[in-house]
Homo-oligomer: A and B are copies of this chain.
Amino acid sequence: MDKPLKIAIAGLGTVGAGVIKVLNDNKDLMSARCGRSVEVTAVSARDRNRDRGVSLDSFTWYDNPVDMASDDNVDVVVELIGGSDGIAKALCEKAIENGKHVVTANKALIAHHGTALAKAAEAKGVNVMYEAAVAGGIPIIKALREGLAGNGFSRVYGILNGTCNYMLTNMRETGRDFDVILSEAQDLGYAEADPTFDVDGIDAAHKLAILTSVAFGCEVDFDGVQTEGIRHVSPIDIEFAEELGYRIKLLGITSRQNGTVEQRVHPCMVSKETPISQVEDVFNAVVCEGNFVDKVVLQGRGAGEGPTASAVVGDLVDIARSLSVPTFSVAADKLEKLSSASLARHKGSYYVRLMVVDKPGVFADIAGVLKEHNVSMETIVQRNRAPGETVPLVLTLHETSEDSMLKALDGIGALDSVVETPRMIRIEDF
């Protein structure tokens, strides 16, 4: 049996306490699988005295987590503080500098500074690992970087934010509005007091930027992710989606075409027949499209104490077993710098909902604008005829460029008989 792997944990919230629980509860299992024990030796958190359901007595306590990076009795620093900069970044940099491995659940940190951290770590011969940063308990980083490494990937996409998926599922099941569901989700602890990171798609965008690098072997480019959240999704769109054979999901989608990468996070309509449309509530799922394996779907819990701790400990097991793989699939100094494909040039199908005054000639006006921009219609649904009143009119459009679609929407929105800003949701053909 080799000597123990010694762990320092920075941040003892839900996940930090979870990691301690896993290492306690599964102690013998870890030793058997790693051929050595995995032991926490040091911890740091804001409040030393909070009851976390685990004893901290046997660990060295640090008021300043960065100091743990200089503790000789530490082989791996587990960073669970969060935030893309500040102390989390300082701790990881220092740990690498001192030749210690880093394991983190911090998606913002990796999305913003992943390339630099990878270069530093690989130069020092240590690992930076972040399985817990993407899709919680689902071992998607390992799948892309190792299990499916025989494949060139054309596209990777998924449900990456459990809060949004829970909200969309709940909206569909109850027909209630976004605001009502959000405040309920906040009361239940499923959404933060400031829900921006979740509902505006930023959290999903962090994760997507990371997936992009792993799948395509390119530098992490969070700024290249084109992001739109779910605030504009309304029950009426969810209802129409259902009628048209779709579900609305907030997806992150990354694809590579001709040396550019298109990264986007936005609400999507996906066919009810696809596996991903059936992933509901807080669950996450990621679909990998490889040139030999075809589609592989991984599904599970994207957040929470147990699943996130499972991912952190998975990384620790790799380190304990002395496994080392390039941080983003290929050596950090070989990562490509891919340019971002503009969403304006994106080609896709679209769902558009208009609120129109129900009077003769409306449809001719709309059709005229669509024709002007070379956008062709696939279906049109009008319900609840009510002459002279405002009624919803739903169109689905055949594949067209986003640029043309947006111009057509501007034209349609300017029509007298169209009384609200048109709502557009992209239809994804998986």
Contact = CB atoms under 8 A, between A and B. Distances in A.
Interface string A313-347: 11011100101111001110010000000000000
A330 B32 contact: yes
Interface residues of A, number: 59
A275 interface: yes
Contact of A296 (B21, B139, B291): B139
A292 B309 contact: yes
Given A18-B292, A25-B152, A291-B306, 19 more contacts: A22-B150, A22-B151, A25-B292, A32-B329, A32-B331, A35-B326, A35-B331, A131-B147, A142-B143, A146-B146, A148-B310, A150-B312, A151-B310, A292-B307, A292-B313, A297-B298, A298-B298, A299-B299, A321-B325
A173 interface: no
Contacts of A293: 137, 300-301, 306-307, 310-311
A33 B326 CA distance: 8
A33 B217 contact: yes
Contact of A314 (B150, B312, B314): B150
Given A26-B291, A297-B300, A307-B293, A314 B146 contact: yes
Given A142-B143, A143-B143, A310 B325 contact: no
Contact of A323 (B22, B26, B323): B323
Interface in A144-190: 146-152
Contacts of A359: none
How many copies the complex holds: the figure is: 2
A139 B150 contact: no
Contacts of A334: 32
A317 B131 CA distance: 19
Contacts of A123: none
Interface in A3-28: 18, 21-22, 25-26
Interface of A: 18, 21-22, 25-26, 29-30, 32-33, 35, 131, 137-139, 142-143, 146-152, 217, 275, 278-279, 290-301, 306-307, 309-314, 316-318, 321, 323-326, 329-331, 334
Nearest to A145: B33
A323 B21 CA distance: 28
A26 B152 contact: yes
7 nearest CB pairs, A to B: A139-B147, A150-B313, A293-B310, A137-B293, A296-B300, A292-B306, A149-B317
A397 B110 CA distance: 52
A290 B323 CA distance: 22
A33 B290 CA distance: 15
30 contacts: A25-B292, A26-B291, A29-B217, A30-B150, A33-B149, A33-B217, A33-B330, A35-B331, A131-B147, A142-B147, A146-B323, A148-B314, A149-B314, A150-B309, A150-B310, A150-B313, A150-B314, A151-B310, A275-B278, A291-B306, A292-B309, A292-B313, A293-B300, A293-B306, A294-B300, A296-B299, A298-B298, A321-B324, A323-B324, A323-B325
